[in-house]
Chain A
Amino acid sequence: METSLQAPVIPSPAVRDTVGIRKRIRRSFRQIRTESVFKQTLVIAGLILVILVLGILLTLITQSLPSIRLLGLKFIWGSTWNPVKNVYGAFPFLLGTLLTSFLALLICIPFSIAIAVFLGEYYPSGWFADVLKNAVELIAAVPSVIYGFWGLAVLVPMVRSLEARLGIDQPLGVGIFSASLILSVMIIPYAASLGRSMIQMVPEHLKEAAYGLGATRWEVIRHVVLPYTRSGLFAGILLSLGRALGETMAVTMVIGNSSILPKSIFAPGNTMASVIANEFTEADKTVYLSALIELGLALFLVTVIINIIGKKIIDRFTNE
């Protein structure tokens, strides 16, 4: 370290070299300046993001204060939503959101894990893998209103005939179940693509160890690949849950928009997001508007809580 602080000894014939060296040193000072500018840019970008999230939270809280003051905890547990009488109970929507999201998750898990294993381990290259990979990515790129159309035109009649066959009176087709089906298709790419990249990262030497012990491909996947990647698979599923909780357009179009507590998964209902989308333009009273914003706050909190729980579970998996 000390030698670098001393002035460099320059041989006399190479005077022009001194200039070159000075130039280079000046350049390195410039590099140091660039470095600190770069670092500041990163810090500012990060801070803006944090401020933005806090700002959103603050706006939600202040805007929902009138409704919080009027209703208190009744807002969460009340099961009647009647803006005409100024009664706002969000429990049906909370239930609707959780029910559609978890049902969607349940439907999507086997498909997304199967796609992840197929593309990550079983068949990572070839024309079929390419087609499948692109198709899965395309699923995420389709605008959600298109899913809504497709749901109304194709899925709802199918669900309606299923309901009729199951002997449910008033087979409507629209409802919680249809919304879950649409959601499950929409969230597949998130879990599948993250799962695929995790599975591709399983070290070759671990798989070889298992093959060397006489394991078949299925046994390698079952005992080496899946245990090794379970936290990643779980993270992907959590990501899709986050997407499912907040999805608005497609759900609004097929869920039936009923503010009554749903009696079964085939009954029409509403999610928090779909209520906001449907009623925001109709909110003519301050309290009504405030109640809708409180609904947004509740959605925000539910998403945050589920994400925190998920992170904790991932930590526990990875620490094992």
Chain B
Amino acid sequence: MESTIIKSRKFNASFGINHVVKNVNIDIPRNNVIAVMGPSGCGKTTFLRCINRMHELIPGATCNGAMTINDEDIYTMHPIFVRLKIGMVFQRPNPFPNLSIYDNVIAGYKLNGIKLARAEKDRIVEHSLTKVALWNEVKDSLLKKGTFLSGGQQQRLCIARAVAMEPEVLLFDEPTSALDPISTATVEELFHELKANYTLIIVTHNMQQAARVSDRTAFFYMGELVEYDLTKNVFTNPKDNRTQNYITGRFS
């Protein structure tokens, strides 16, 4: 039986008077890949950023409602602990340009002031880079700058950086929209492997991607969660008209 890890109830988020996430209730099961899709401006990215409390960093952003991880209220926890439990990968690969590949992987530890022994660092770096299938490509150039890598490699480095903190949930905000098709395929393959240890929530514009990689799909439209079900049901037998229209390309 699958257990729920992230749960939201009557969750709303706004930028000032602009209400962008409306009354969202969702249960996200552990070790699943969840695709969140919908047209531009439907609130999917905002909802994602609410899960690890990145939303509140934007001036004027507010939210209310219940959001829990393992039945613990995310909004009463300290945001730092939330973000350690729930890692995030962004749309554009954003390795720290002043750090080497090695230091980028352990950047989370460095940022949080956690001192590690050399051997421990080496182990984390190798482990994380192996997990994202980057170890063999970069093991001889670990001391080169992270920005030296190609876009797809940079994005995998960013995933390794998030994985290194051993979070429970990984959030991806359109992780492949800045990548070429081959890099996209590599990253998509990763999702299948990462799912064994983490719960992945992926915001995507790309319906084929949602269909390929996810176990469940959530469809957002105008800030509402219109439909949320097993991916195969959403794509073959959508219950809502708006979902039907979206996946058949009648609006975008």
Which residues does A use to contact B, with CB under 8 Å?
Answer: 125, 203, 205-206, 208-216, 219-220, 223-224, 227-228, 320
Contacts and interface: CB of A to CB of B under 8 A. Distances in A.
Contact of B52 (A205, A210, A212, A227): A212
Contacts, number: 67
B164 to A, nearest CB: 9
A123 to B, nearest CB: 11
B96 A213 contact: no
Contact of B110 (A206, A223, A228, A320): A223
Contacts of A223: 96, 107, 110-111
B33 interface: no
Among A203, A215, A219, find the residue whose CB has the most chain B CB atoms closer than 10 A: A215
B88 to A, nearest CB: 4
Contacts of B81: 214
Nearest to B98: A227
B98 A228 contact: yes
A212 B54 contact: yes
A213 B112 contact: yes
Given A206-B97, A209-B96, A212-B52, 11 more contacts: A205-B90, A205-B92, A212-B83, A212-B162, A213-B83, A214-B112, A214-B165, A215-B111, A219-B111, A223-B111, A227-B98
Contacts of A208: 54, 57, 88, 90, 94
Interface in B19-45: none
A114 B65 CA distance: 38
Contacts of B88: 208, 212
10 contacts: A203-B94, A206-B94, A209-B94, A213-B107, A213-B161, A214-B81, A214-B84, A214-B108, A214-B111, A214-B112
Contact of A214 (B80, B90, B97): B80
Contacts of B54: 208, 211-212
Among A206, A213, A215, A227, find the residue whose CB has the most chain B CB atoms closer than 10 A: A213
Contacts of B80: 214-216
Given A212-B162, A213-B162, A213-B165, A219 B113 contact: yes
B98 A209 contact: no
Nearest to A209: B94
In the A-B complex, the 7 residue pairs with the closest CB atoms: A212-B88, A213-B108, A215-B111, A214-B84, A214-B83, A205-B94, A209-B94
A12 B195 CA distance: 70
Nearest to A215: B111
Contacts of B162: 212-213
B87 interface: yes
B57 A211 contact: yes
A211 B112 contact: no
Nearest to B88: A212
Nearest to B81: A214
A122 B40 CA distance: 31
